[in-house]
Structure 1
Amino acid sequence: MPGGPIPGVRTSVRIVVVGDRATGKSSLIAAAASETFSREVPPVLPPTRLPADFYPDNVPITIIDTSSSLENRGRLAEELKRADAVVLTYACDQPTTLNRISSFWLYELRRLEVRVPVVIVGCKLDRRDEEYNLNIVMAPIMRQFREIETCIECSAANLLQIPEVFYYAQKAVLHPTAPLFDQETQALKPRCMRALKRIFVLFDLDMDSALNDEELNEFQVKCFNAPLQPAEIVGVKRVVQDKLPQGVNELGLTLTGFLFLHALFIERGRIETTWTVLRKFGYSNELRLRDDYLPMPLKKAPDQSFQLTSEAVEFLKGVFSTFDDNKDDVLRNAELEDLFSTAPESPWDEAPYKDAVQRTPLGGLSLSGFLSEWALMTLLDPVKSLANLIYIGYNCNAASALNITRRRSIDRKRQQTERDVFQCFVFGPKKAGKSALLMSLLGRPFSDNYVPTTSEQYVVNVVEQHAQGKKKTLVLREIPEDGVKKLLSNKESLAVCDVAIFVYDSSSKYSLRRASELLLDVTKQGEETGFSMPCLLVAAKHDLDSYPTAMEESAKICQGIGIDEPIHVSVKERDLNNVFSKLVNAAENPHLSVPETDAGRNRKWYRQLISRSLIFVSVGAATAFVGMAAYRAYAARKNSAS
Structure 2
Amino acid sequence: MPTGGPISGARTSVRIVVVGDRGTGKSSLPPPTPAAAAETFRQEVPPVLPPTRLPADYYPDNVPIVIIDTSSSLENRGRLAEELKRADAVVLTYACDQPSTLNRLSSFWLHELRRLEIKAPVIVAGCKLDRRTEEYNLSIEMVPLMQQFREIETCIECSAANMLQIQEVFYFAQKAVLHPTAPLFDQETQTLRPRCMRALKRIFVLCDHDMDGVLNDDELNEFQVKCFNAPLQPAEIVGVKRVVQEKLPEGVSEHGLTLTGFLFLHALFIEKGRIETTWTVLRKFGYSDELKLRDDYLSIPNKKAPDQSVELTSEAVEFLKGIFSTFDDDKDGVLRESELEDLFSTAPESPWNEAPYKDAVGRTPLRGISLSGFLSEWALMTSVDPARSIANLIYIGYHCNAASALHITRRRLVDRKKQQTERNVFQCFVFGPKSAGKSALLMSLSGRPFSENYVPTTTQQYIVNVVDRHMGNKKTLILREVPEDGVKKLLSNKESLASCDVAVFVYDSSSEYSFKGATELLSYVARQGEESGFGMPSLLIAAKNDLGSNPTVNQDSAKICLDMGIDAPIPVSVKERDLNDVFSRIVNAAEHPHLSVPETELGRSQKRYRQLVNRALMCISVGAAATFVGLAAYRAYAARKNASS
**Match in the other structure for 1:24:** 25
Separation in structure 2 between the aligned mates of residue 192 and residue 410 of structure 1, nearest angstrom: 46
The one-letter code matched in structure 2 to 1:33 is: A
| Structure 1 residues 516-527: aligned runs within 5 Å | 516-527=519-530
Deviates more, 1:547-556 or 1:410-419: 547-556
Q: Does 1:326 align with 2:327?
A: no
- Is it true that 1:155 corresponds to 2:156 in the alignment? no
Mean CA deviation greater in 123-132 or 68-77: 123-132
Is residue 546 of structure 1 aligned with residue 557 of structure 2?
no
Q: How does 1:257-336 map to 2 (within 5 A)?
A: 257-336=261-340
Query: Aligned AA for 2:535?
Result: S
Looking at structure 2, the residues matched to 5 and 263 of structure 1 have their Cα atoms a distance apart, in angstroms, of 17
TM-score, length-scaled by structure 1: 0.98
* Paired amino acid for 1:393: G
Alignment partner for residue 626 of structure 1, among 625, 629, 636? 629
Secondary structure of 1:519's counterpart equals: helix
Equivalents in 1 of 2:565, 2:438: separation in Å?
23
Aligned equivalents of 1:243, 1:314: Cα separation in 2: 42
Partner of 1:509: 512
* Distance in 2, Cα, partners of 1:615 & 1:415: 26
Asked if 2 retains the 8 angstrom alpha-carbon contact of 1:524 and 1:597, the reply is: yes
Distance (Å, rounded) in 2 between the aligned partners of 1:227 and 1:351? 46
The offset of 1:291, in angstroms, is 1.6
Partner Cα distance (1:7, 1:407) in 2: 42
1:108 aligns to what?
Answer: 112
Q: 1:560 to 1:456 in 2, by over 3 A?
A: same
Secondary structure in 2 aligned to 1:32? coil
Matching residue of 1:137: 141
Q: Is the 8 A contact 1:210 1:255 kept in 2?
A: yes
Give how far 1:7 is off: 5.8
Q: CA deviation at 1:626?
A: 2.4
Q: Distance in 2 between matches of 1:298 and 1:512?
A: 40
Q: Give 1:49-88 correspondences, 5 Å limit.
A: 49-88=53-92
Identity %: 80
1:186 maps to 190
Matching residue of 1:247: 251
Per the TM alignment, residue 292 of structure 1 is displaced from its structure 2 partner at its CA by 2.3
* Secondary structure of 1:557 counterpart: helix
The residue number in structure 2 matching 1:4 is 5
Aligned counterparts, 1:551-562, within 5 A: 551-562=554-565
Determine if the alignment matches structure 1 residue 450 to structure 2 residue 454: yes
Q: Give a deviation string over 1:115-148, Cα, whole Å, max 9, x none.
A: 1100111111111122221111111111111000
Does residue 574 (structure 1) correspond to residue 560 (structure 2)? The answer is no
Instruction: Confirm or deny: 8 A CA contact 2:6 2:276 kept in the other structure.
Output: no
Q: Does the aligned pair in 2 maintain the 1:509–1:547 contact within 8 Å?
A: yes
Query: Could you tell me which amino acid in structure 1 is paired with residue 58 of structure 2?
Result: F
Range 423-432 or range 320-329, more displaced: 320-329
Within 2, Cα distance between the matches of 1:633 and 1:28?
94
Report which stretch shifted further, 287-296 or 445-454.
287-296
Cα deviation, residue 608, structure 1: 1.7
Say which SS state the counterpart of residue 477 (structure 2) adopts: strand
Q: 1:362 matched to which residue of 2?
A: 366
**Given residue 22 of structure 1, which amino acid in structure 2 is its aligned partner?**
G
Match of 1:472 in 2: 475
Query: Distance between the aligned counterparts of 1:476 and 1:356, measured in 2?
Result: 9
Match of 1:488 in 2: 491
Contact 2:4 2:230 in 1 (8 A): no
SS at match of 1:45: coil
Q: CA–CA distance in 2 between the matches of 1:229 and 1:257?
A: 19
Matched, 1:636 2:611: no
Letter in 2 for 1:60: P
2: distance between equivalents of 1:396 and 1:35? 52
Note the alpha carbon deviations across 1:148-169, whole angstroms, 9 max, x for none: 0010111111111111101000
Query: Are the aligned partners of 1:8 and 1:279 in contact in 2 as well (CA < 8 Å)?
Result: yes
Hey, what's the Cα distance between the residues in 1 that align with 2:243 and 2:432? 66
Secondary structure of 1:287 counterpart = coil
Cα shift readout 1:67-92 (whole Å, capped 9, x = no counterpart) = 11101101100000000000000001
The aligned amino acid for 1:148 is: I
Q: Is the 8 A contact 2:227 2:281 kept in 1?
A: yes
Task: Give me the whole-angstrom Cα distance separating, in 1, the residues matched to 2:134 and 2:377.
Answer: 65
Q: Deviations over 1:469-526 (max 9, x none)?
A: 3100000000000101101111111111000000001111100001111111101101
CA deviation after TM superposition for structure 1 residue 5, in Å: 4.3
Gapped regions of structure 1 (runs ≥ 5) = none
Quote the residue 1:427 is aligned against.
Answer: 431
C-alpha displacement at 1:593, in angstroms?
0.5
Aligned partner (choices 600, 613, 618) of residue 615 of structure 1? 618
Number of corresponding residues: 641
Per-residue deviation at 1:634? 3.0
8 Å Cα contact 1:9-1:174 kept in structure 2? no
Equivalent residues of 1:86, 1:169 under 8 A apart = yes
Distance in 1, Cα, partners of 2:6 & 2:131: 39
Distance of 1:277 and 1:220 partners within structure 2: 9
Q: Is the 8 A contact 2:96 2:126 kept in 1?
A: yes
Moved more, 499-508 or 229-238: 229-238
Q: 1:230: Cα distance to partner? A: 1.3
User: Cα deviations across residues 543-596 of structure 1 (Å, max 9, x unaligned)?
Assistant: 002333121011112112111111000000000001100000000000100000
Matched to 2:538, the amino acid is: C
Q: CA deviation at 1:33?
A: 2.5
Alignment deviations for residues 255-282 of structure 1 (CA, whole Å, 9 cap, x no partner): 0111111111111110000000001111
Cα contact 2:4–2:229 (8 A) shared by 1: no
**What is the rounded CA distance, in whole Å, between the counterparts of 1:350 and 1:515 in structure 2?**
30
2:296 match: secondary structure:
coil
Alpha-carbon separation, structure 2, partners of 1:615 and 1:214:
76
> How far apart are the structure 2 equivalents of 1:525 and 1:144?
55
- Asked if the contact 1:501/1:536 (under 8 Å) is kept, the reply is yes
Render the CA deviation track for 1:45-102: whole Å, top value 9, x for unaligned: 1111111111110111011111111011011000000000000000011100000000
Match of 2:385 among 360, 381, 386: 381
